[in-house]
Amino acid sequence: MVTRDEAINALRNIQDPGTGLSLVDLGLIRDIMVKETGASLTLVVATDSAEAKREMEDAVREALSAAGIGEVHIRSRDASDFERAEISKKLQAAQAQAPEEPQTRVRPLLEANKDATFIAVASGKGGVGKSTVTVNLAVALARRGQRVGLIDADIYGFSVPDMMGIEERPALEGNAVVPVTSHGVKVISMGFFVEENAPVIWRGPMLGKMLRNFLTEIDWGELDFVLLDLPPGTGDVALDVHQMIPQSKEILVTTPHATAAFVAARAGAMALHTNHEILGVVENMAWYERGDGERDYVFGRGGGAKLAEELHTELLLQVPLGAPDNHPSEPDYSPSVYKQESPTGRLYLELADKIIASTR
């Protein structure tokens, strides 16, 4: 004959529909008696659903029948207020003891993209078009079929979202922040996390923490190239990049002016001092082309070539002074991204081809 304990164990897997906990553990199976002719019990019902009540009664009968008990007599009654309160306490206790559901782990950028090429774009001083070069090189690499991420690491002077015409913010999927994709480039920037035009008043350690978050807390996916738009000069963020990403290569941006090139040499010296490979120099605002096709060298001549010679590297590109011929009514409008078929857009494609060839 089936014992009382065996009958109780047979009922242990039946769940209360309101809490998902066992009827036995909740104490909702009462007065159970087992005889040779069958079994009888009281079922305390904590749900107001007649259908759920019938399903529980059927489940009890099926479980006891499977255990070898023939006839089953069930007396059902509604739970009292006291019993409902006790059920609520047991549910809270069970939830407190239950292990948290594992969260999706965000693979840090350096771990997930060990084969990616990291390129820091630097300059000695502001106003030379470093961010413009970074944005257009990133877009050109994407146009060449590369998977590209862009980190706007210019924490104080972030400008990449505005330059690329990005108006949305990064999405949160699970516990991971997903970068905004624009022109085929995945972008993350301090500009996404502060109020519009609000100043960032941070000291060095906070800057380094934000950069570290960009590298470890963002779901970048798989990338071929990661470009970092550094602040001008050789300050805290530039130093953090050199320490956090020792494999990063570097491109220096300058204008043809002798002073700009002289200051940019300091950033180059820092890269060499930290054993970072300098891919080359980009000379921005190299000339202005007049309507008659003649060139005016507004900011002088030779600064980029002199800087490249001093750092024993290559003058990768000379970009003329100008602005993209874009209009706000265009569906993919951005103030600073050159169209692929424009003369300057083709120059950036040539630069992308050089970078791909030299890093693969």
Question: pLDDT tier at 201 (50, 70, 90 boundaries)?
Answer: very low
CATH code, domain with 301: 3.40.50.300
Residue 187 sits in the same domain as residue 327 = yes
Residue 179 sits in the same domain as residue 220 = yes
Range of the domain at 133: 109-359
Question: pLDDT tier at 349 (50, 70, 90 boundaries)?
Answer: very high
Among 131-145, 261-275, 286-300, the minimum mean pLDDT is found in 261-275
How confident is the model at residue 164, as a pLDDT?
95
Answer whether residue 99 shows pLDDT above 60: no
**Residue 310 domain-assigned?**
yes
| Domain end point (choices 47, 64, 97) | 97
Q: pLDDT (tens digit, 9 = 90+) per residue, 20-47? A: 888 999 999 999 999 888 899 999 998 8
Residue 92 sits in the same domain as residue 151 = no
Return mean pLDDT, the chain: 86
Chain center to CA of 326? 29
Residue 191 sits in the same domain as residue 66 = no
CATH code, domain with 29: 3.30.300.130
**Token pair listed for 86:** 């006790």
How confident is the model at residue 333, as a pLDDT?
85
Query: Greater confidence, 132 or 103?
Result: 132
- β-pair type (249-254, 148-152): unpaired
**Token pair listed for 148:** 């590209």
Q: Around Cβ 98, how many Cβ atoms within 10 Å? A: 8
Residue 256 sits in the same domain as residue 211 = yes
**Residue 149 domain-assigned?**
yes
How confident is the model at residue 211, as a pLDDT?
80
**Residue 103 domain-assigned?**
no
Residue 68 sits in the same domain as residue 140 = no
Q: pLDDT (tens digit, 9 = 90+) per residue, 224-246? A: 999 999 888 766 667 777 778 88
**Residue 313 domain-assigned?**
yes
23-27, 48-52, 135-139: range with highest mean pLDDT: 135-139
- The strand order across the sheet containing 225-229 reads 180-182, 185-189, 148-152, 225-229, 117-122, 249-254, 278-283, 315-318
Answer whether residue 202 shows pLDDT above 80: no
Answer whether residue 196 shows pLDDT above 70: no
Tokens 């941070």 belong to which residue? 202
45: Cβ–Cβ under 8 A, 6 or more apart, which residues?
28, 53, 56, 76, 77, 78, 79
Question: pLDDT tier at 297 (50, 70, 90 boundaries)?
Answer: very high
Residue 198 sits in the same domain as residue 241 = yes
Question: pLDDT tier at 300 (50, 70, 90 boundaries)?
Answer: very high
| Domain end point (choices 65, 97, 129) | 97
- Total number of domains in the chain: 2
Answer whether residue 210 shows pLDDT above 90: no
Q: pLDDT (tens digit, 9 = 90+) per residue, 108-127? A: 787 877 789 999 999 988 88
Residue 209 sits in the same domain as residue 353 = yes
Residue 132 sits in the same domain as residue 204 = yes
Q: pLDDT (tens digit, 9 = 90+) per residue, 250-285? A: 999 999 998 888 888 888 888 887 788 999 999 999
State the Cα torsion 187-189-194-199 to the nearest 10°: -150
